[in-house]
Structure 1
Amino acid sequence: MFRSLAHRPLLRRGLLLTTGITTAWAADKYAYDSTIQRNVRTLYNGALITADYKWNFVEGNAANFEALHERVANRILSVCKENGGLYIKFGQQIAAVPVLPAAYNKTFKVLFDDAPAVSYAVVEKIIEEELGQSPDQIFETFSRTPLASASIAQVHRATLKDGSVVAVKIQKPEIQRQIGWDLFTYKILCRAMEFFFDLPLTWQADYIERHIRQETDFENEARNAELAAKNVREAPGSLSDRIHVPKVNWKYTSKRVMTAEWIEGIRFTNPELLEGQGWSKKEVMRTVVDVFADQIFRSGFIHADPHPGNIIVRKHPTSSRPQVVLLDHGLYVTCSETFKHDYAVFWKAIFSGDLPTIQSIAEGWGVRDVQMFASATLQKPWTPGKAVHVDTSANLEDLFQRQVKMKESVKTFLNNTQSFPKELIFVGRNMNLVRANNKFLGSPVNRINIMANTAVQSLGNNWSMWGSNRNSQHPLHPPSTIERFTQLVTSRINYWTFRATLFFTALVFHMSRAAQKMRYVVLGVQGAGFEDMIDGGMRRTMQDQFGVTIDDEAFSG
């Protein structure tokens, strides 16, 4: 048979090709965790999706748009689920983009469930590679089944030899081998989307890539946790007593393994359990808003992923009051002093009606649509897992133009992407999640007033900060008498305008709370809260400005 094959070149070449392909496939699958296959799958489906939209998202085909969006969303979901790893995170980010159609929101909800866990044998191997000892040598007990599993890691409960109970976070083995290619492919897709659909995406790709890489380094996460704890201790008021960050055990922490104290607690978005402990939803939510407002406006070191799974509540060690515990410190953003100051001034200017300052800061950040930006800053219609979509009751002849209008609004929102503070990518994510959490609990606190007050407190108590200019006078050109008088009057007007705005916002908040309670007493239902009222205003604003209707679920947690 072999002699026969030797005289048949085509068969011989075919056999060699088949052998080569099989060998390459096996090497990729078992040595490189299917990295090549995953990226080929991604690029292939990316090309199909691009072609699908180019051919079918055209004027006159509006009746088929919903099917088009659903088809593409399912294709992307399939890629994310098959590839796993960081693609789960990419899928969650896609689901959070507000300008995507509702089909994406509905399709991608499954990506917020627990990810598949790796076996104990794999966990044991990683611990030995990272810490130089087996779990049995390090720990007195170690749960073989993880208590939680996410896209990057899974968490096991364990007990050290001294009896201390700890949480051990284990990075999944394929992450380090896949991350380089995954992020490279992500950037290629951003460039392709920008080229084919003329949407600004690449300006943020490097920044997001850097933070995702940091998130996969557990030593970096441990440092983040310690810095976050330090900032809490230094915070003014009682925040240090109301917030706890689990202590890191550095002896058993490495790039892929992180060990920290185990904290027993309940999710703060479980109102029944909170009330069962005798804890006030208002007190708990106020603590959550306070800590993240302090991070944004004072410390500038901000937890960028405060979803409900990363916040728990426990009984305070020395009292019966609740204490909020912050978990998962992998994704943080560090804000510059200039950004912190300007962002605080921007909040102050919105509440004091200081239009020149609002315009000046927004233009300095390369923002073209100042009104849209100010609305987004205060009311935040960008919740993870939800979508903004065009009103399907609209006339089909108008549907194409209305979706194009939304695209144009997004495309032209930024006048200069180089000037836009990239910190806002993750600051916005933080605020969106906090807002959604407040709404989920029935809006027990006035989040907006707390944020505005914290912003102003971070600027200090000098009257000069209430002037109309965000920058102080140049020392070589002291103000004239008229200018000083004008500044004096302007600063008082701005201050009292700010206070009056907060007063009326608080009045509306308390009226909405009273209405909520009345509905509950009379009808037995919770009813809409303050965040719901804000959401309604944003829906009307988006309808008036962009001709689109926001899904009722777009603001849900």
Structure 2
Amino acid sequence: MLRTLLSYKPIRRTAFLAGAGATIWGVDNYYCHSALTRNVRTISAGLIILADYKLNFTPGKVDEIDQLHERTAKRILDVCQKNGGLYIKFGQQIASVPVLPAAYARTFKVLYDNAPAVPYPEVEQIFLQEFGKLPSDDYQTFSRQPLASASIAQVHRATLPDGSVVAVKVQKPSIRYQMDMDLWTYRLLLRVYEHLFDLPLVWSADYIETHLRQETDFLHEGRNAERAAKAAKTAPGIGDKVYVPKVYWDLSSKRVLSAEWINGIALNDMEKIDAKGWSRKEIMTTMVDVFADQIFREGFVHGDPHPGNILVRDHPKSLNSRHTKPQLVLLDHGLYVDCRPAFKHEYALFWKALFTQDMETLKRVTESWGIRDVEIFASATLQRPWRKGHAVHVEAPAIGDAFRRQEEIKERVKHFLSNTDIMPKELIFLGRNMNLIRSNNKLYGSPVNRINMMANRAVENLGLTQHFSRLNFSYWMFRGTLFLSALSFYMVRIVQKVRNRVLGKGEGGGFEDLMDKASMKAMEEFGIKIDESVFEG
């Protein structure tokens, strides 16, 4: 009977295609970790989104544009969640772009939650592949359940034969098999969308790909950690206020990283932080100082300082004191920006020029970076409104309908990035670093004036005697601007304290809150509408 059925060409052809499809699916699922399935899913969703925008993003459908953004964001989120791995990173990048419609920032928040963990037998397989032995061969104890799970790795607690406690970061097994095709698909979609929407998108692809690949190399992360630890020790005014856990090199490889276990409190666990009696201002001063030092002196900058990557613990030197002092612990050193010396110097000059109203220097630096719009870039850098003369208009004119606003934003972006070939790629992750610093300060009630602290660090690392003499008018212009900024900051702090103690309403975001609101209004003047959720970090 089977032979009779197969004698019919349509049935034979169908059977062949079904068999071939099942074979391809089996090979892809069991040997290629679903790399083909994941990318077919991505390309299909990309084509659907593309068609949706082409058909529905028109002046005649203005009332439906918000719904268009909403369903597009949900489609992309669905792909990121189903694909996992590097797609979580891609989604987080999308969520951090402030000029995208509000629906994206709202929808993609869930990607910052813990990712699903892989079972313990798969962890053992990684150890067999990397070291030729099981975790039990090197560690006295090893937790079968991870304590945390992220997009590309999960962390287990273990103890060494000598009793030392270590954190063991294990890469998820599918990452090495999926990465090449994921990045190829990512680049393909960028090229398609750049061509169809006439927007500069591909210019950052090489730089982002390089750093994503580095994040999956845990030996590279270990070297970053050691360099960051050395930089913190030599940083003026920081020293042992910041700590980076020690790496155990004999128990580390490209896909496994063993580091000193640190008992501490997550930076955003405000209840426990306050219960310790630690000063929020002291913690935040140290945090802003260490990252400002990384940016302006060392030129080696942590690319992802979110609260989950920063712990606060009792300073070891104060354990015998009645009141312990806080020490910051920096974790997760996979993503770092290594700034070129020329860029680091130009960036410090740019910050100095912002506070001295040196338009000649501002234009020279931004034009050398291929950036035409000084005011937008200055506002984005400071994360507060900036105008020549600091005359900021907070009343935004009517933006017009949703379609026209989106078209205006596109033209702004194209004009802003006049030459992406010469734009410093370091700015991609520096912006993320400073946005997270701002967000952390806001979380703590804005106890420090981070803008003034960053500006002072920039000028210090230019060299006061060589570039910034006290006899120079620009020096006093700089100091005067910082004084006015500090005056505004302390006035807000006074109101904030009164509001908290008299009315019992809590400290809120304070100075950072005011700057966020002013930034939103200022960006609307540029034709860019920003959703409040962007400032939540």
Q: TM-score range by the shorter chain?
A: over 0.9
Correspondence for 2:132: 132
Deviation at 1:2, TM superposition (A): 3.7
Name the count of aligned residue pairs. 521
Correspondence for 2:412: 409
Matched, 1:322 2:331: no
Hey, what's the Cα distance between the residues in 1 that align with 2:277 and 2:131? 42
> Does the CA-based 8 Å contact 1:171-1:257 persist in structure 2?
yes
Structure 1 unaligned spans of 5+: 382-392, 468-487
Deviation at 1:549, TM superposition (A): 3.9
Q: How big is each residue's C-alpha offset from its partner over 1:488-547, in whole Å with a ceiling of 9 and x where there is no partner?
A: 9xx61100000111111111111111110011122111245111121122122112221x
Correspondence for 1:388: none
Hey, what's the Cα distance between the residues in 2 that align with 1:69 and 1:394? 21
Deviation at 1:294, TM superposition (A): 0.4
Structure 2 unaligned spans of 5+: 319-323, 386-396
Correspondence for 2:301: 302
Hey, what's the Cα distance between the residues in 2 that align with 1:3 and 1:551? 65
Correspondence for 2:11: 11
Correspondence for 1:545: 526
Correspondence for 1:157: 157
Correspondence for 1:533: 514
SS in 2 for 1:97: coil
Correspondence for 2:340: 336
Deviation at 1:76, TM superposition (A): 0.7
- Whichever residue aligns with residue 24 of structure 1, its letter is I
- Whichever residue aligns with residue 179 of structure 2, its letter is I
Correspondence for 2:87: 87
Hey, what's the Cα distance between the residues in 1 that align with 2:95 and 2:526? 23
Hey, what's the Cα distance between the residues in 2 that align with 1:62 and 1:494? 49
Match among 448, 453, 477 for residue 450 of structure 1: 453
Match among 419, 422, 427 for residue 424 of structure 1: 427
> Does the CA-based 8 Å contact 1:207-1:422 persist in structure 2?
yes
SS in 1 for 2:59: coil
Correspondence for 1:466: 468
Hey, what's the Cα distance between the residues in 2 that align with 1:217 and 1:307? 21
Deviation at 1:6, TM superposition (A): 4.9
Correspondence for 1:276: 275
Q: How does 1:223-372 map to 2 (within 5 A)?
A: 223-237=223-237, 239-319=238-318, 320-372=324-376
Q: How does 1:22-171 map to 2 (within 5 A)?
A: 22-171=22-171
Matched, 1:437 2:437: no
- Whichever residue aligns with residue 332 of structure 1, its letter is Y
Correspondence for 1:499: 479
- Whichever residue aligns with residue 303 of structure 1, its letter is H
Over 3 Å counting, the alpha-carbon distance change for 1:42 and 1:527 in structure 2 is closer
Q: How big is each residue's C-alpha offset from its partner over 1:13-69, in whole Å with a ceiling of 9 and x where there is no partner?
A: 221221111011111011001111111111111011011001100012111111111
Hey, what's the Cα distance between the residues in 1 that align with 2:484 and 2:97? 32
Hey, what's the Cα distance between the residues in 2 that align with 1:3 and 1:192? 47
TM-score, normalised via structure 2 length: 0.94
TM-score, normalised via structure 1 length: 0.91
Correspondence for 2:491: 511
Correspondence for 1:183: 183
Hey, what's the Cα distance between the residues in 2 that align with 1:394 and 1:498? 35
Out of 397-406 and 435-444, give the one that drifted further.
397-406
Correspondence for 1:485: none
Over 3 Å counting, the alpha-carbon distance change for 1:14 and 1:552 in structure 2 is closer
> Does the CA-based 8 Å contact 1:367-1:420 persist in structure 2?
yes
> Does the CA-based 8 Å contact 2:452-2:482 persist in structure 1?
yes
CA RMSD of aligned residues (A): 1.7
Q: How big is each residue's C-alpha offset from its partner over 1:456-512, in whole Å with a ceiling of 9 and x where there is no partner?
A: 1101122x4138xxxxxxxxxxxxxxxxxxxx9xx6110000011111111111111
SS in 2 for 1:509: helix
Deviation at 1:362, TM superposition (A): 0.8
SS in 2 for 1:61: helix
> Does the CA-based 8 Å contact 1:519-1:527 persist in structure 2?
no
Correspondence for 1:390: none
> Does the CA-based 8 Å contact 1:367-1:414 persist in structure 2?
yes
Deviation at 1:109, TM superposition (A): 1.4
Correspondence for 1:386: none
> Does the CA-based 8 Å contact 1:316-1:322 persist in structure 2?
yes
> Does the CA-based 8 Å contact 2:102-2:530 persist in structure 1?
no
> Does the CA-based 8 Å contact 1:380-1:431 persist in structure 2?
no
Deviation at 1:223, TM superposition (A): 0.6
Correspondence for 1:211: 211
Deviation at 1:380, TM superposition (A): 6.1
Hey, what's the Cα distance between the residues in 1 that align with 2:432 and 2:291? 12
Hey, what's the Cα distance between the residues in 2 that align with 1:348 and 1:118? 49
- Whichever residue aligns with residue 497 of structure 1, its letter is M
Over 3 Å counting, the alpha-carbon distance change for 1:418 and 1:26 in structure 2 is same
> Does the CA-based 8 Å contact 1:268-1:284 persist in structure 2?
no
Q: How big is each residue's C-alpha offset from its partner over 1:379-430, in whole Å with a ceiling of 9 and x where there is no partner?
A: 169xxxxxxxxxxx979x7221112111211122111111111001011110
Q: Report percent identity of matched pairs.
A: 58
